[in-house]
Structure 1
């Protein structure tokens, strides 16, 4: 059975998700679940506009972790709350303009090299 909340219901759901992970982190992960880069969310987590959550970060550029080594593709992303618990997973990752949940200048991440997040808009599914 499909659940179809009203516009105000969709906004409330996105607001609850945002508030759950505000001041937490976004992790870019490989196909093998290695954490390749970590972005810190602001204490508010971003803004909700209708069916879209524009995630806000302390910085939109970080460096690749040791797990990235000589270069590994980011294939997914997940949000953790400020306590380190995974609360939202299964986010898509792609290049700028791809329409993925998380868009990067380059999906190939290398240890200690800059990783630029160009867009992070989470839309309510089916809206």
Structure 2
């Protein structure tokens, strides 16, 4: 039997939204913060260096609507939103969550900003 291309075990959605200068709302990629501009590239490079880029699919996204906690990324499966990202935090998330299987709780968005999902049966029509 022919084997298909395996599915990734994880998808990491990294917000790459950049607000224009002078906007009152913060964004995950800031013109004034060079590190925030390098986080997605750092994520992809670390996944490649560890040999797991096929098992883990990094995806650049627009706004994930958690701007006050940015930079943010969402890890699936698990619906885990990590906030206040730095290169060091991304390294630890890869090692402990993606490779080790343990959510890095201190980097997870607080419950008051990330409630339970709305079930499809309760969505407005």
- Asked if TM exceeds 0.5, the reply is no
Q: TM-score range by the shorter chain?
A: under 0.3
More helix by share: 2
More strand by share: 1
Greater Rg over alpha carbons, structure: 2
TM-score of the two chains, using structure 1 as the length reference: 0.27
